[in-house]
Amino acid sequence: MTASQPLAGVTVVSLAVNLPGPLAAARLHALDAQVIKVEPPVGDPLNLLFPDYYQELTAGQEIRTIDLKDGAGAGQLKALLAEADLLLTSMRPRAAAALGLPDLVDKHGLVHVEIVGFAGDRADVPGHDLTYQAAHSTLLPGTMPTVPVADVLGGEHAALEALAGLRELETRRTAAGGADAQASAGQDANVEHAGGIVRRVVLDEAAAWAAGPARHGMSTPGGPLGGGTPLYRTYPTADGHIAVACLEPHFAEALAAHIGTEEDVLERTFAAESTAHWIDFAAEHDLPIERVALG
């Protein structure tokens, strides 16, 4: 018998397209939530640009195409939200307000996890992962990030906020149940039954959180994790590249005993043998060395 997952019985309606929202929805679905993904008639841009990734993130979810700007479409969304526990969005607050989402969240007592770009007065300012990273010094001028850190971390934050909101909702419902029992016994009860729970995820703040190691000099160029030591960097081999991460003293001592720790010695030695040779070497001597995978 398979044990029940934490979110079994929870229904999530997601209006979130692009990347952070689908990442969060995939996390929630992995915990057994039922996810109904509502997309506009043009579809999710993620599917148009990267269909394989889209299929990976939406596997097992129910996909519905609804024109929320149409009266019939708005009615369909209202019906979905009446049966849901959580609403996930990734739109600017003024767009959510135009759709009447705050009122629906309050009416049905939903958890609303809203993913926005900026906080406060900038909540309606447009942005993307690239601009969030640019603002928090995780980009090197003239280069592009290989991972959209703000989007990925924002998706994780959204899943976490969803869990926090659902926990709050559970507590509220438990309290309401106790209040109903008191009321039926003729006792006074003053427990709020209505109103939504809003948890906001700010991608700009996710970028700032991710930038912590760079901000403190850990991973900036020349820092301990930024190429400042020959014990933590990549090296070419005879047929590829390897990543060497021998920072801890016992790893450094083992590397020194078998090869050395001088940069020129390491470069020359690693370049003389194949990547496979060094992977076997790492396994034999219990060292954190891995091939650099491409693509």
Q: Which tens digits make up the pLDDT trace of 136-145?
A: 988 889 999 9
- Name the fold adopted by 232-291: formyl-coa transferase, domain 3 (3.30.1540)
Q: Which amino acid is at 130?
A: L
Q: Which tens digits make up the pLDDT trace of 35-94?
A: 999 999 999 999 999 999 999 999 999 999 999 999 999 999 999 999 999 999 999 999
194: left (phi over 0), alpha (psi -120 to 50) or beta: beta
Question: What crossing angle do the helices spanning 203-210 and 149-184 adopt, rounded to 10°?
Answer: 120
Q: Which tens digits make up the pLDDT trace of 217-238?
A: 999 889 999 999 999 999 999 9
**pTM: predicted TM-score of the whole model, two decimal places:** 0.87
Instruction: Kindly indicate whether the domain formed by 11-215 is annotated with CATH number 3.40.630.30.
Output: no
Could you tell me the CA-to-CA distances from 64 to 35, 39, 76, 77, 146 in Å, in that order?
11, 6, 10, 10, 31
- What residue ranges do the domains of the chain occupy? 11-215, 232-291
Mean pLDDT rounded to a whole number for the chain: 92
The pLDDT > 70 percentage for the chain reads: 93
